[in-house]
Structure formats: C-alpha cells, structure tokens
A and B are shown apart, each in its own frame.
Chain A
Amino acid sequence: MPVPEPESASAESQSLTKAQKKAEGRARQEQQRAAKAAQKQQQQSGQNAGPSSNKSKGSTVQKKPALESNKIPSAAASSSKDAPTTREGAVGADGLSDGPKSRGLRIFSHFGLPKTPGHQIKGDIHPAIVKLGLQFSEFKICGANARCIATLTAFKTVIQDYVTPPHNTLSRHLMTHLSPQITHLVTARPMSVTMGNAIRQLKLEISGSDIDLPEQDAKDALCQEIDNYIRDRIIIADEVIEDLAVKKIKDGDVVLTYARSSLVEKILLRAHSLNKRFSVMVIDSRPLLEGKTLLHSLTSVIPPIPCTYALLPALPSLITDADIVLLGAHSLHANGSVYSRAGTAMVAMLAKEHSVPVMLCCETYKFSETVMLDGFGKNELGLLSINYFFALLFADAVCNQTAPMKFSLGASNSNLEVLNPLYDSTPASCITAVVTEVGLIPPTSISSIPLALGRTTL
C-alpha cells in the first residue's frame, strides 16, 4: 500500500508538531517545568521517529505513538500538583496566582481558584465519588438540590460497597471511611450548605446505628434513612412548597424569576398545569446563563407559557411590569440573608424598590445556622472555560476555543483579571416571604424553624 503510508506519516508529524507547540506554549509560562516536559517530548518524539520511519505497517499501529505523544504534555502538567491540567485552568492560575507580579487585589484571594476537572485523587476514593467529583467540577451537576441528591445517592453506593474491617464496628468506622470521600467532593467544588446539612444528618444516623445489627442490615437501614431524607426534606418538601407558592400566582399575573431554580421551575409548571394564565419574565446573566434552560422547559409545555427573556441590565425596564418575583436559593442563613446565584440580590433589591413582592422558595434543609453579612466573605468562582466566548471579543476567530483566550488574557494583559463569582447574598430586608414546606415565613424568623421542626440538628 504505497498511498496511505505518506498520508499517515504526515498526520503523525502534524500531531507531533502540535504537541511540541503545546509544550512551547507552556514553556513561556512555567519555564522550569516546561523544560522538563520538552525533554520528555524530545525523547518521545525520538522514539516515535524511529518506528515511523522504519516501518510501513498498517496505519493503526502508527497512530498509537502519535496519540501517546499527544498525551505527554498534559501528563507532565498533571504530575506536578499545583499545575492545572487544562489550558483554561492555566489561564485562571495566570490571573490569580501571580499576585506579587501584578497589582492584583488580595481581597479576592480567598475566593480560591476554580477547580480543574483532573484534580488528584488521594487515598481510597470510591469510583462513584470520583465520577461525582468530576461532574461537580465541570458543572455537569449544578444546583443545591441536584448536588445534594447526587451526593446522597453516591453515598448509598459507597455504603453498600463498604465492608467493616475486622475489630471495628460499622457505627464507629464507616464515618472514617466516608470522610475522605467527602473531602474529595469538596476539593472538586466547595461543599454546598445542602450537602453539609445532609452529611451531618447522615453522620448522626451512622453514629446512632445499632452495634448488634448484622452489617448488611445496618447498611440497608442507613440507605433507607438516606432515601427518607431525600424524600422528606427535598421531594415532598418541594411538593408542599409548590402547593403553597402556586396559590400566590393568580390569573393574569406576570411572574418574574432570575436564572433557574429547579423549585421555581416546578412551581411555574404546576401553576400551568392548574390552568392558571400567567406569563413569565426570565432574567438571566452570565456566567452561567441558566435561564435559557428554564425557558426551554417553560416553552415546551402545551400550550407554551408566554415568556419574556432579558439579561440582567434590562431588569429595571421590566420590573415595573412584574406582579410577583419568585426566586430560588442556595442556602438561607440565620440572619435571614439568602445565599443564591449571583444576581439574585439585585433582582430582589429592585423588586423591593418597586414594591413587587419577592417570594423566596426554599426547603428547610437549606437553612444554615451561620450568619452571612455580605456575598464577599464566602463565594465561589466559576470555571473560566464557561466564558470561552471571551475568545469572541479578544480574538476575532474562534477557531480554537481556548488558545486565543490564553493568548489575549494571559500573555498580552497581565493587569486584566477575570472573576466569575457564582453567588451573592441578598439581605433579609429585600425578601417579602420565604416559602418553605412549613409555610410562608418572614426571612427574619428562619432561626426558629429548626426548633419548630423539633430537631436539635438540622
């Protein structure tokens, strides 16, 4: 076969040069490490050059070394602990970590870097947790409820696969087995309040489980408890909240909501199924633009709910037409402030100014006993890869999604840093009522709810 041979060879050389380019790009950033990588690269390419020049076998054999050489730079990067694997990650590191060089503000330092997907796995981590960690860090699973349910479901698998080592009891040892799993999830993405609350409850159940119970029974009982928690605190709670909130939506109302809360979405769909005639204004904003997902689900019912869509800066023009504002929450704090998707605070603030009632829909398991004064003390940064369409602005061509961004943000402008805070904190004064499964309450009486539910721990 004379024809395919040069083709495959050229393909290989192309991939090789690509890999070399990658290594060179890194060399500019991290010289020492890249020097090593380049060395490896050289070695590898030397190895590759040998077989490809000698042999004229089937193309499948030849592709293999090419693929290998492609992998090398990323492998080299991930071998060092603090070097982010992906190029987006590298940009993030560029922006935030070179503090001494740029005049960057230290007040942002506690936000921490967005976690990169390929972070290290330390210790004995269950595959289900590894998978979940990846889904968290890539924002495949996003939202307080979804993350809590996913975590608990994964823990069920972990518990079922757990075998108590000899000379140990399940109630004493299981928690030590679970804590590295939890740590792994937290390194993937900071723990949500919902997860914290659920895990605390789980710990309580584990420590309270009967020593005399056979192991399998104890595990089944724990899984049952987890199922109960999901059912009682999330699923049933959501249904009760839907019933309560739907009563507040009247025919002809214009409901305004921000981004996408799974609960608000359910409420709107329920109201629609009850044949209420209302329209929805979906306000949305970067970095996540979750409102588009909400739009899809609201317009895919029959007949579609009339929707208006606008970005956050257009809100002042629309808020005057709204009759009620429905918002979701990430967590609710003891001083009544609401930790929720960035932008929620401004929607609530403007609604209050225009005397539009703001209903916050929130299950009681999202309550936290801590106090939050502003959205700055605790926050989280979004992945930079989310805003790849920065490339649209900074480089005209979007041929490669990440490379132009790296060039324009990292190389040309050391003074420019991009922050994507994901949350903000809405003061209690902007919230009219909180819809919970125990009824509509003012945000200031949050702290009395755990007592009302008869729980010492939430």
Chain B
Amino acid sequence: MASDPQSAANQRIVEDLVSRLRRRQLVGSRATALETLLVLRQVVSKARFSNIDQLVNIIRSVGRRLVDAQPKEHSVGNTVRKVLHHIREEYHTANEQPAVESSFSIAKFVLQGQPRKQATIPSSETRVPLKENDPDDPDSFARVLKPVLMEAIQDVFDELETVYDNISKNAKDHIHSDEIILTLGMSKTVDFFLKAAAHYRNYTVIVAETAPFYGGREMAKSLSSAGISTFLVPDSSIYALMSRVNKVILGAHAILANGGMFATSGSLLAATAARSYSTPVVVCAGQFKLTPLWNLYHEYGALDFGDPSAVLGFDEGDLVDKVDVVNPYYDYVRPELLDVFITNYGDHPPSSIYRLLKETYDDEDNEL
C-alpha cells in the first residue's frame, strides 16, 4: 500500500533523479539506467504492499515520473520495464507456478505474444508460502517477497555493470587483422569493443569527428592512446573514405522494436554511405537500450535538439539573428541500413529485435 508518508520518502530520491534528468545533468544511456536502477531499488525496499499489483503500481508510477522527466532517455523506461519483468518472474516462481521458461520454442514464442493470463492471481491465493492481502498481517506478502525482489534487481544491476565486457567478448570475431573500421561519435560501448579487439588484432580505425559535439575527437584520442592506429577525419569525408572501409561500427542511443535505432546524428549518413558501398554496418549496444517503440513517422530523429551555438556561435554576430540553426542530437537509422546488433546477449540481426523485446519485457509495460 503506497501510503502517503512512504511515497513522500521515496519522492525525494525520485525527485532528485527527475531534476537531474530534466537538466541534462545526467546523460548517457548506461548512466541513466544505473541511476534509475538505484532509485528503483530504494523504492522497492521501502515500499509497503500486500499484493503484486500494488507493487507494480508503485514501480510504474515512479517509472512514469522518471520517463516524463526525460522522454528521450529511453533507457530509463527500459530499466523500469526490465525490473517489472523480473519482479513478475520472481513472483511467479515464488508462487511455484512454472513461469516463462528459458528454453525457447515457436509455440512458447507465440504464447508470449499474448497478454499474460489473469488467472494467476486467483490461483495464488491458494498457495501457502505467499499470502496476498492477508488481513491479519498486511506486510507478510512484502516480507516474503522482498529479499527475492532485491536479488532480482541486483541481477539487473550486475548485468549493467558487466555490459561492456559481455559485448566486447566476441570482438575478435568481428574485427580481423588489417581491417579498416569506421566509427563516429563517442560511444563507450564501441570504445570497449574496439579496444577488446585490439588485444588480438592489428587494425585501423577511422573516426569521423561528428560535428558539432565532436565526440569523435574524444573517441580518436581514447582509441589511439590504447595503441590502435587511428585516423581522425571530418564528417564530410566519410563518403570519400568509405570505399576503403571494411566495416562500420556504430553505437546506439536506443534500439527500437522494428530493428531500427536512434543514434548520434551522423550515424544515418555513415550507414547510408556504407549501404551504397555495401559495407556492413555493425551496431554495438547493451540490452538496456532495447526499447519497445517505433519511429515510423518522425522526420527528426527522436525530436531532440542540442544547443545551436555549437553550430553557429555568437562570434558570427551578425548572422545569429538572421539564420535558423538546426542541431539535432539523434538520427533515426532504419533497420534496412543495419546488419547486426552486437548486444551482451549475443548477436542479433535487426529483424529479430522484436523477439528479444518480447523476451525482455512484458507486453503490458510497453506503455508505462
């Protein structure tokens, strides 16, 4: 039961994250995912509930607040969904009902597409260890379930902690000796991936500097200091160099349900140029970026804009008030332009992303 004093106590930590998200003091998919998880752990540990629905509602309401604070940081919502999914799973095991099995078959997969059956709750009332809505001791349900839930959240936490290592463990299978790799922007995942491959292979990276935020320069610096031969080029020469590039490796901001992705602006240019030279495009991303979302009609990728002064500064004084300046953060890259997603759960073609989503989240959480 989310009584008022408790929700107020939770409110402060939630409020803190909300304001940091809103002010963009906290950016980056993984950082926001981690922070969200910490907040959720607090919320769950302090929450009072006597049945699963109450708990889900508490988590959802917190999740909704966080998502509303910064709708473009999809990993916030994804983390909430993932936690919900795990909580339900734990609840079902605690009820000793065979929940979704890890083995996978077409038949199961078809079933998973269906909304979860409501029959679980009435049947759970008959179970001995878990008593929901116990009038004598309303906290007994929470007391039994909480340790399991904390473990489940810890699992998600561990997964986030090890995400880079797990993504880059197969790096040497993707990058071969003397290859020329093109990448752009600053993506921690790609950075780890390339450095992991550098332990086994000698190869060259061309980094486009990705104006106007110039994340590419940071990336080039980081890669070259790890001993990888690195070329830093302006964005304009991506096409000219593409004919010599063996592979394009990109980071993602969010992987969408149709297999497309939001990625730092410039990614679409690189992916399109790669397509015209039939160069494979590889995306490295943690699974927390999987987002049950489509972007079929947006013209601007993710509709998020950066500071125009990075493009046309006030040193161009007389131009500033005459010219519109556009500086989008993200591009939407269509699934046709991508070849593979390398996630911490293995490699997936864009066409099977929807399946991963079904495995990772519960359908009823798609809309928080």
Contacts and interface: CB of A to CB of B under 8 A. Distances in A.
Contact of A311 (B212, B241, B264, B300): B212
B322 A299 contact: yes
Given A285-B235, A304-B322, A353 B240 contact: no
B138 interface: no
Contact of A342 (B221, B225, B237, B268): B237
B230 A415 contact: yes
A316 B210 contact: no
Interface string A302-316: 001011111111111
Given A312-B211, A425-B240, A415 B233 contact: no
Contacts of B231: 105, 108, 416-419
A416 B316 CA distance: 31
Nearest to B211: A311
B232 A316 contact: no
A103 B202 contact: yes
A424 B239 CA distance: 7
A415 B268 contact: no
B284 interface: no
A313 B234 contact: no
Given A285-B211, A311-B211, A346 B229 contact: no
A313 B233 contact: no
Interface in B234-277: 234-241, 243-244, 264-266, 268-269, 272-273, 276
Interface string A225-246: 0000000000000000000000
Contact of B323 (A105, A309, A318): A309
Contact of B232 (A104, A320, A418, A427): A418
A402 to B, nearest CB: 17
B99 interface: no
A287 B332 CA distance: 25
Interface stretch (A156-164, A261-269, A373-381): A373-381
A412 B230 CA distance: 13
B311 interface: yes
A307 to B, nearest CB: 5
Interface in A248-298: 285-287, 292, 295-296
A421 B276 CA distance: 20
A318 B265 CA distance: 12
A102 B228 CA distance: 10
B319 interface: yes
A376 B241 contact: yes
Interface string B177-194: 000100000000000000
Contact of B236 (A295, A342, A349): A342
Contacts of B350: none
B314 to A, nearest CB: 13
Given A343-B236, A415-B227, A296 B319 contact: yes
A413 B211 CA distance: 22
A299 to B, nearest CB: 4
Contact of B234 (A306, A342, A350): A342
A104 B322 CA distance: 44
> Which of B225, B236, B276 lies at the interface centre, i.e. has the most chain A CB atoms within 10 A of its CB?
B236
Contacts of A318: 326
Contacts of A419: 231-233, 237
A139 interface: no
Contacts of B273: 345-346, 349
Contacts of B236: 285-287, 312, 341-343, 346, 421, 424
Nearest to A408: B221
A308 B324 contact: yes
Interface in A365-396: 374-376, 379, 390, 393-394
A376 B301 CA distance: 31
A424 B235 CA distance: 12
A104 B224 CA distance: 11
Contacts of B332: 316
A317 interface: yes
Interface in B316-350: 316, 318-319, 322-328, 331-332
Contacts of A424: 236-237, 239-240
A107 interface: yes
Given A308-B324, A415-B224, A415-B227, A353 B211 contact: no
B211 A286 contact: yes
Given A309-B311, A424-B240, A314 B322 contact: no
A423 interface: yes
A74 interface: no
B240 A423 contact: yes
A420 interface: yes
Contact of A376 (B204, B233, B243): B243
A22 B332 CA distance: 49
A310 to B, nearest CB: 4
Nearest to B319: A295
Contacts of A312: 211, 235-236, 266, 269
A341 B311 CA distance: 19
A346 B299 CA distance: 18
A314 B244 CA distance: 24
Given A295-B319, A309-B312, A417 B232 contact: yes
A404 B17 CA distance: 39
Interface in B298-314: 299-301, 311-312
Contact of A317 (B223, B265, B276): B265
A285 B224 CA distance: 24
Contacts of A390: 217
A375 B277 CA distance: 12
A292 B229 contact: no
Interface in A306-351: 306-318, 320-321, 341-343, 345-346, 349-350
Given A376-B240, A425-B240, A317 B232 contact: no
A393 B219 CA distance: 12
A314 B266 CA distance: 7
A141 B241 CA distance: 26
B233 A420 contact: yes
A44 B210 CA distance: 47
15 contacts: A285-B234, A312-B211, A312-B236, A313-B265, A313-B331, A341-B236, A393-B218, A393-B221, A416-B224, A416-B230, A416-B231, A418-B231, A418-B232, A423-B240, A424-B239
Ranked nearest first, the 5 interchain pairs of A and B with the lowest CB-CB distance are: A343-B236, A313-B266, A375-B240, A424-B240, A416-B224
Given A105-B180, A309-B323, 17 more contacts: A104-B229, A295-B319, A295-B323, A307-B323, A307-B324, A308-B324, A309-B325, A310-B326, A316-B265, A317-B299, A343-B237, A346-B272, A375-B237, A379-B240, A415-B229, A420-B237, A424-B239
